[in-house]
Amino acid sequence: MLAADRIADIAGLQGQLESAGYVAEASLAATLLLTLDLGRPLLVEGDAGVGKTEIAKAFATVRDVRLIRLQCYEGLDVHAAMYEWNYQRQLLAIKLLEQDDRPLADKEKDIFSEAYLLKRPLLEAISCDESPVLLIDEVDRADEAFEAYLLELLSDFQISIPELGTVNAITRPLVIITSNGTRELSDALRRRCLYQFIEYPDFAKELAIVKIKAPQAADQLARQVVAFVQQVRRMELQKKPGIAETLDWTAALLRMGITVINDDGAQRIIDTLSALIKTRDDCTGFTPEVVARIAATC
Amino acid sequence: MLTVEALEQSDVGTVLLTRIAGFTAFLHENGYGVSAADSVDIVDAASRTGVLDQPILRWNLKSLLCNRYEEWQRFDALFDAYFLPPNIKVFVSRDAAVGAPEVTTTGGDDGSRESPTTPENAVVDETKAARYGASREENLSSTDFSELNQADQARKVEALMRRLARRLKHLKLRREARSQRGRRLDLQSTIRQSVASGGTPLRLAWKTRRRVRSRLVLLLDVSRSMNAYSFFYLRLARALCNELADVHCFIFHTRITSVGEALRDPDPWRAQERLNVLAVGWAGGTRIGECLQDFNREQGARLVHSRTGVLIVSDGYDTGDTALLADALGTLRRRARRMVWFNPLLNQPDFTPVARGMRTAMPYLDLLAPGADLAAIERVLPQLIKSLR
């Protein structure tokens, strides 16, 4: 394939993602195409609120396939992530089968059949007819033990269920894994994945996002909002505002009827800052003088 | 030197293979966890996409070969250094956050021991050094890290750290999880298992208290006044890094530098080389406050969470601003679970915390521990573990 075709593909995907509401750099689009080509999972890291999860959503929309999401948390186990037997139904079935005079082996086969299997996200993802996007969100919150399970799935795309046998993938899902870095992931997992780190967006990208997601904001306000947020990110804060915060804040400003940010309206801006600044320590830094100073440069 | 442009006009197959295999080797030398299998993937990717376009090649290799953020950050500079002809410094500086690579950072002080043809050492420390800039009080003479590999105390240090690590791994939460055996019956799971035996609970399921996954952040003072203890602590840090996965180690004097990756390097001699590069300013002055503030700004939000134990090793002799130190310690203390300060001088019988830094720090500490030698640390171990729980 020629490089020129690839560049066209990348630009095409960027355009499609944008119409799905996600502004992606060319490098991200190139990586997504590569994940498709190689069939390897994509590990996305970055600070909270830079749009890691959104990638999977937008990509599923673009490819017009299902998005299956597995939210990881501490103590997530195989029963919640892969499969579980439907015990209540099985117990009922046992009672009903007591009158049945079929051989015992048949009965047992019946009880442990797919009808009594509850598919959790991972099993679901490999048993879809059409290859879905599987989003494994915040994998760092799950335990190391779960990571090991995940590795088995990601290398062979099969799940072994002791009572039923091995379930092989009908189609391979496109796997996107996100991590917030609350725990160091194992090297084995990292090696198996393509890697993408998402930075906070620069001015142009964030402006494009605001224009797509909040079209009702006037051009001048959008520019000012983004310039303001970019400055705030440069300050020493406990929790830097992400893109979601920018959009929330834009909505808050619009709701308050603020159409232009200037240093006169510092107090009014402070009233809306709760959408942007989320810890008490950070709030104390935003005195009217500070806000006026930032606003004056926007 | 071959360039991407030159590649375009030549026999793609073989030249490409050797050139790209060379790049993986180059990254490997720079501490990337790449393997031969990656080369196969690259060639696979290349044959699909046509690698001859410079940005596509960069993006593809970046996502294929990087495994973590530190590698991601350094990648562009390494890519430029390898693929671009030497007279063009930066092809495209797309990424403003990483900044243009600077070549001047390591200076001539350790240039004498490195072979002049390896640019990789200059790149290792580049992002950090470029950010901090030089200071008058830095010690520019090089430090001999060979002491780190001496065997005399190593065994004892490792044994002690293994014990600490084992104890830390056994800290338990109040929350419970299923387990093979435990102290309480997991009724739900027992009933589920009883399905297999027609409703008779033959096999019992248990719950036990879950482990805490604590993280340790070590901040080691390596200024002149700490000279006698620095190596000792670095050795402790390395032993601990080898035992526990979630340990993050930094050294500070007039600025703060991460040494975690260098300490984890399985090859002791290469670890030594990397430390040499990182340790510009070793045994210079101390500015604890500024260093901690830098740490808070750049690493704090990412590294320190509600299960992090912060261990600071310093004698508290500080030439910086004490207000700054108090401020930085306060911020750090609020973020972390516990803060422990090891002071090697504490062993002395007439010790009172007179050093300015120490006096400032006292209100923020959960534990002030003596730590001049292994025996002292061994004595304080139970208290340390208790305070970390």
Q: How many angstroms separate the CA atoms of B106 and B315, rounded? A: 28
Give the CATH number, domain containing residue B378.
3.40.50.410
| CA distance readout (Å), B26 to A278, B29, B82, B259 | 43, 5, 8, 21
Confidence of residue B10 (pLDDT cuts 50, 70, 90): very low
> Domain count of chain B?
3
Model confidence pLDDT, tens digit, residues A91-110: 888 888 888 788 888 888 88
- Which is higher by pLDDT, B173 or A217? A217
Whether residue B23 lies inside any domain: the answer is yes
- The residue of chain B nearest to residue A179, with distances taken between CA atoms, is B68
Structure token digits, residue A229: 């947020």
Give the chain A residue whose CA is nearest to the CA of B69. A197
Single-letter code of the amino acid located at A50: V
pLDDT at A98: 82
When scoring A2, A5, A6, A76 by the number of chain B Cβ atoms within 10 A, the one with the most, hence best to mutate, is A6
CA neighbor of B332 nearest in space, from B384, B260, B256, B262: B256
Q: CA of A2: which chain B residue's CA is closest?
A: B50
User: Are B238 and B343 found together in one domain?
Assistant: yes
Q: Report residue B4's pLDDT band, with 50, 70 and 90 as the boundaries.
A: very low
Amino acid at B43: V
> Chain A closest CA to B321's CA: distance in Å?
18
Instruction: Identify the top-confidence range among A71-75, A208-212, B79-83, B347-351.
Output: A208-212
Model pLDDT, residue A14? 93
Beta bridge pairs of residue B177? B208
pLDDT reported for residue A111: 84
Highest mean pLDDT pick, A229-243, B50-64, B136-150, B183-197: A229-243
Whether the predicted pLDDT of A136 surpasses 50 = yes
Same domain, B86 and B156: no
Report the pLDDT averaged over residues A47-51.
86
For residue B124, tell me if it sits in a domain.
no
Residues B261, B184 share a domain = no
Phi-psi region of A159 (alpha: psi -120 to 50; beta: other; left: phi over 0): beta
Asked whether the predicted pLDDT for residue B149 surpasses 60, the reply is no
Mutate to test the interface with B, among A182, A206, A239 (most CBs of B within 10 A): A182
pLDDT at site B8: 45
Assign B50 a pLDDT band (cuts: 50, 70, 90): low
B109: pLDDT strictly greater than 70: no
Contact B69 A91 (CB under 8 A): no
Q: What percent of chain A has pLDDT over 70?
A: 99
Instruction: Give residue B174's pLDDT band: very low, low, confident or very high (50, 70, 90).
Output: low
Range of the domain at B217: 145-165+213-388
Interface-testing mutation among B39, B63, B303, with chain A (most A C-beta atoms within 10 A): B63
Residues B224 and B366 in one domain: yes
Which range, of A94-103, A187-196, A277-286, B118-127, averages the lowest pLDDT?
B118-127
Q: B114 in a domain, yes or no?
A: no
**Mean pLDDT for the stretch of residues B260-282:** 75
Q: In 10 A of CB A57, how many CB atoms?
A: 18
Residue of B nearest to A180 (CA): B302
SS (H, E, C) chain B: CCCHHHHHHCCHHHHHHHHHHHHHHHHHHCCCCCCHHHHHHHHHHHHHHCCCCHHHHHHHHHHHHCCCHHHHHHHHHHHHHHHCCCCCCCCCCCCCCCCCCCCCCCCCCCCCCCCCCCCHHHHHCHHHHHHHCCCCCCCCCCCCHHHHHCCCCHHHHHHHHHHHHHHHHCCEEEEEEEECCCCEECHHHHHHHHHHHCCCCCCCCEEEEEECCCEEEEEEECCHHHHHHHHHHHHHHHHHHHHCCCEEEEEECCCEEECHHHHHCCCHHHHHHHHHHHCCCCCCCCCHHHHHHHHHHHHHHHHCCCCEEEEEECCCCCCCCHHHHHHHHHHHHHHCCEEEEEEHHHHCCCCCCCCHHHHHHHHHCCEEEECCCHHHHHHHHHHHHHHHC
Residue B126 within a domain: no
Across the A:B interface, residue pairs with CB atoms under 8 Å apart total 111
Confidence class for position A211, pLDDT limits 50, 70, 90: very high
* Residue B259 counted as domain residue: yes
Q: φ, ψ for residue B165 (rounded to 5)?
A: -60, -40
Task: Show Cβ contacts of residue B372 under 8 Å, excluding neighbours closer than 6 positions.
Answer: B229, B344, B345, B346, B347
- The reply to whether residue B246 touches residue A184, judged by beta carbons under 8 angstroms, is yes
Q: Residue A28's closest chain B neighbor by CA?
A: B59
Contacts of A91 in chain B (CB under 8 A): 195, 199
Contacts of B52 in chain A (CB under 8 A): 3
Task: Measure the CA–CA gap between B238 and B264, rounded to whole angstroms.
Answer: 7
Residue, of A295 and B188, whose pLDDT is higher: A295
Burial state string for A23-49 with b = 16 or more CB within 10 A and e = fewer than 16: bbbbbbbbbbbbbbebebbbbbbbbeb
Among B311, B239, B367, CA closest to B303: B311
Does residue A34 sit in helix, strand or coil? Answer: helix
> Span B328-343, mean pLDDT?
87
Residues B257 and B366 in one domain: yes
Q: Highest mean pLDDT range out of A120-129, B143-152, B272-281?
A: A120-129
Length of chain B, please?
A: 389
Q: What is the pLDDT, as a whole number, of residue A249? A: 93
Distance between CA B124 and CA B144 in Å, rounded?
19
Closest in A30, A42, A91 to B60, CB measured? A30
Q: Which of the two residues, B8 and B379, has the higher pLDDT score? A: B379
Task: Tell me the per-residue pLDDT of A13-42, one tens digit each, with 9 for 90 and over.
Answer: 999 999 999 999 999 999 999 999 888 899
- CB atoms under 10 Å from CB of B334, counted, come to 12
What number is the average pLDDT over the span B32-42? 76
Q: What confidence score (pLDDT) does residue B120 get?
A: 40
B160 lies in the same domain as B18: no
Chain A residue numbers with beta carbons less than 8 Å from the beta carbon of B302 are 47, 181
Instruction: Measure CB to CB from residue B192 to each of A6, A87, A199 and give the nearest one.
Output: A87
**What confidence score (pLDDT) does residue B52 get?**
63
- Which positions in chain A touch B93 (Cβ < 8 Å)? none
Contacts of B175 in chain A (CB under 8 A): 75
Rg (CA), chain A: 24
User: In chain A, which residue's Cα lies nearest the Cα of B48?
Assistant: A1
B358: in domain: yes
Q: Which residue of A has its CA nearest to B176?
A: A75
- Band (B389; pLDDT cuts 50, 70, 90): low
3-state SS string for A185-196: CCHHHHHHCEEE
pLDDT at res. B212: 65
Residues B360, B300, single domain; the answer is: yes
Confidence of residue A154 (pLDDT cuts 50, 70, 90): confident
Q: What is the pLDDT of residue B6?
A: 44
Tell me the chain A residues in contact with residue B215 when contact means C-beta distances shorter than 8 Å. Answer: 183
Task: Tell me: pLDDT of A173 over 80.
Answer: yes
Q: Is the pLDDT of residue A160 over 70?
A: yes
Residue B313 has pLDDT above 80, yes or no: yes
User: Region A198-225: what's the mean pLDDT?
Assistant: 92
Rg of the Cα trace of chain B? 25
Chain A residues within an 8 Å CB radius of B51: 3
Say what the pLDDT of residue B153 is.
Answer: 65
The CB-side HSE value for B234 (13 A sphere, CA atoms) comes to: 30
Chain A nearest-CA residue for B216: A183
Subunit contact B44:A38, Cβ cutoff 8 A: yes
Spatial CA neighbour of A149 closest among A158, A140, A141: A158
Q: What is the mean pLDDT of chain A?
A: 87
d(CA B316, CA B287): 10
Closest chain A residue to B63, measured at CA: A195
Q: Which pLDDT value is given to residue A243?
A: 92
Chain A residues touching residue B245 (CB < 8 angstroms): 184
How far apart are alpha carbons B371 and B354 in whole angstroms?
Answer: 17
- Which of residues B290 and B168 earns the better pLDDT score? B290
Domain positions in chain A are 3-82+120-198, 203-297
Give the model's confidence band at A134: pLDDT under 50 very low, under 70 low, under 90 confident, else very high.
Answer: very high
Report the residue from B56, B67, B213 with minimal CB separation from A190. B67
Question: To the nearest whole angstrom, how far is the Cα of A240 from the nearest Cα of chain B?
Answer: 9
Q: Give the closest-approach CA distance of B375 to chain A in angstroms.
A: 32
3-state secondary structure (DSSP) of residue A197: strand
pLDDT of residue B89: 44
Tens digit of each residue's pLDDT (9 = 90 or more) over B232-254? 888 888 888 888 878 899 988 88
What integer best gives the mean pLDDT of chain B? 72
If asked whether residues B81 and B181 sit together in one domain, one would say no
| B335, B308: one domain | yes
Contact check, Cβ <8 Å, B67/A191: yes
Q: State how far the Cα of A161 lies from the Cα of A126, in Å rounded to an integer.
A: 14
As its CATH architecture, domain A3-82+120-198 has 3-Layer(aba) Sandwich (3.40)
A contacts of B35 (beta carbons < 8 Å): 191
Name the residue type at position A124: E
Which chain A residues contact residue B55 at CB under 8 A? 26-27, 30
A224-238, B32-46, B82-96, B374-388: least confidently modelled range? B82-96
For position B102, what pLDDT does the model report?
39
Which residues of A fall within a CB distance of 8 Å from B213?
143, 183
Q: In the predicted model, is pLDDT for residue B374 greater than 90?
A: no
Cβ separation B33–A187 shorter than 8 A: yes
Q: Do residues B277 and B124 lie in contact, with contact meaning Cβ atoms separated by under 8 Å?
A: yes
Percent of chain B beyond pLDDT 70? 72
Return the pLDDT at A280.
81
